[in-house]
A and B are shown apart, each in its own frame.
Chain A
Amino acid sequence: MPSRPRRLSVQTKVLLPVITFLVLLPVVVVWIVNGYISRQVHDEAATVLKTADGVFRHLLDNQSNDLLSRYRTTLENRGVVRNGYLDLVGLAATNTAVGANSVRSSLDQQLGGDTVVMLLSLDPATPPIGAKGEVPLELADFARASGGLSRAALRGEGGADWVTLDGMVLNVAALPIAQPDHQVAGALTVGARLGGATMQEFKRLTGAEIVILAGAATAASTLGAPGVALGGLPTDAAQEVVVNGEHYLALRGAYAQEASMGGFRYVLLSSHERSLRTLGDMRRTLAEVSFAGILLSAAVVWFFIRRVIHPLRELRDTAEAVGRGDFSRKIGRLANDECGDLAEAFNGMTTNLQASRAELEKTVETLKATQTQLIQSEKLSAVGQFVAGVAHELNNPLTAVIGFSDLLVQTSTDDKIRLHLERIAKNAHRCHKIVQNLLGFARQHPPERSLVAINGAIDEVLDIMAYDFRTGNVAIVREFQDDLPLILADRHQLQQVFVNILSNARQAIQAVRHDGRIVIRTQLSAALVRIDLIDNGPGVRPEHLSRLFDPFFTTKPIGKGTGLGLSLCYGIVQEHGGTIRAQSELGQGATFVIELPVAPESAQLRDTDAALAPGGRRGGAGRRVLVVDDEEEILALTRELLRADGYEVETASSGEHGVAAVRRTRFDVIVSDWKMPGMNGIQFYEHLLATDRAAASRVCFMTGDVINDSLQEFLRLQGRTCLPKPFSIKDFQDTVADLSERGSG
């Protein structure tokens, strides 16, 4: 597996934010909830404290009132138990020790419970007689502290208040002792200590710890010794404090009754410990649940991502494999979702790619073959050009050889010499034919339809290939039907078809035997001309038979054949509206059958007319002919020929000379070469057109070159004729005779 640049996997990309979110969410939630609950708890505790404060004050008031009521009841009681307070007043008034002791013992007996001190006053001036319980309290201090109340009681107004004294909180009530006539005889002042039991009761009722302060010290407390200076707390605001290692919310207050001289400060404490513990528990539980949730969620997310990623990874691996060219890799397990679709699409793509690639490879191979063919073709084309050039060069000497030999044959009297001359002429003609064929074949032909005699066309091919057959020990058997109708075809294309088939046959035969034989049979069957080409070669394998005409199908070794030959044949025959087919049995040779439609009736007739046109030879006596050619041999030959016909012949070796000659003399016929150095045939003709139109109308051309399209067009437009070199004497004579007759006539 190729190493990839480091990057985050999708798993990480999804997991990270999810986990971050999962972590952040509980953190934020815990933070918010914690804050909220803390606030709530604080508020609740504060509210509780406020309530407790109210209750506490109420309790204090009640306590005061209770004390007051209790003694008021006692004082006013006239029930079964007679109160002896008036007696006590009387005893006190005796101002004796016994009296005072009696009073003291009486008061002492009434002490008990919370009641720790009692005073009996007769009037503000006299010091009161009192008794106290076992408390660290000076009666004098108490008398001073409760003086106001006592004086009020002496005035007949009972009242109660709270005072702090020597580190004690006392509930003080003072009541008048009235005589039956409602005259105040004295006052009873009672001090009840705010004791532990009461404090516990208060604690129970208020639901808060209570610490009562006397100055800086603690007068009473439900907490034991607080150990912390609570006096410094601000009032009217709950505040957290730690007392004896426990958390409390504390509220400080001051208590005093109206018109009081006493009063005290206190601190109510509501335990915060449980709330804090609950809060802590809540936080911990939340954290644990969150942690578990995070783990679970992460696992679930991981699992699902894995499930999603797994096909993707497989897809990636497969894609890589396919990228390397391994088309056999397929994604196996298909999930029933988008991934499955993707995998399916991917598999489809892979298959298509495979097919495309195979096709592409085939195409590339085809292209290579085509290129080879093209190169071959170019080579052939070059050879063709070369051959055309050579042929043209050969034409001129051949014209001279043919012309003079013909001339000699006509003039010779010695039979033996004439026989020899005829041989020369015959072979020169043969050379001419060979050159002509070469030119025709090498030439690039635009497709053109003309009436073609199929036998002649085949003969031409056989002529070209005669050498091949001869050297390959292949005998050609011509079984031609003579009176075949013409067909409308491109002669050269048809000839190419025959060349291809015949050379294939020759090659096939040559490889296996030395007594090759090709039968070429032509016959008319219905409206078709049928050509059978039968060889006795090795035949074609059955499996190859159907592909025989496919392009680039070849059984020849690489470089020997292009596989285009028969394909081309097939294309050509098809274009001509014919059919080509092959029949073969392995070892029994092959037969190619070509059927071509016969040309329509009208075309046959017209051609026949043309063919029948007579070309009589007439005498050229008294007629003047100008021959313009750069070849001295041609000039000599034509001079001889025309003079023999009685013409007056003048020759010019170039266009310029020709022009000069025309200017000098009137000619009945002007024969000009096509290609000449300096002024060529066309220029010469155009010059004549410009200067002597009549002379121009008597011009005829001759050329050793192929008569190409542009020349043909020119000739057609100007109504001129052209003699292809080399020409026979007869052709030349006929042409000149035609022209001279036209010119004169």
Chain B
Amino acid sequence: MTDTQWRRYQVFVQEKSGEPHQDVGSVHAPDPELALFNARDVFARRPECVSMWVVPAEAIFSKTAQELAQWDPVKEPQSFGEAHPETYVVTCKQKQGGTQLQAGMVEAANPVEAMRSGIEKFGGKNPGLAWWVFPARLVIQSEPGDVESMFNPALDKPFRLSADFHTVSAMRKIKSGEQKPAQADELSRSDDSCAI
């Protein structure tokens, strides 16, 4: 099938200020700005995002630990050609159940060199389970000024969180006979008290 679909952008979310950005998945979009909007709707419907990145998926150079074990950087096509020194973002998956987490930045002439210096700089004692590198100039990120319009509206929708529904204690009360049918009101906030 001819590939006519929109470009795929990898999405990274920072849940709290000071924490690393982490890979959450990808979206398709015709341009980076729309990718960011689309990613907001898909990956930040709850108050758990303060900053977001999107990166064209094809710009990400990746290696798993298994690939690295037999890796011959000299044979990588990216090692050839003209060198374009620039800043690369390095991310690493450290735990089996984990995802790619922002590790830091390196200066490199190409993705292969970025991978090598990224691993050297951030690998340390933990060799990592999978590494990604991509040019920092291709990262499109939400600005601090976008937080109000992009992420803060989620704060006004507490009903999106399961903690807003007190069904466990309601079931316990019914079971113990404490709660009779007419007292069900405390179950969740009254239907009329909708804060919008």
Q: State yes or no: do A and B come from one complex.
A: no
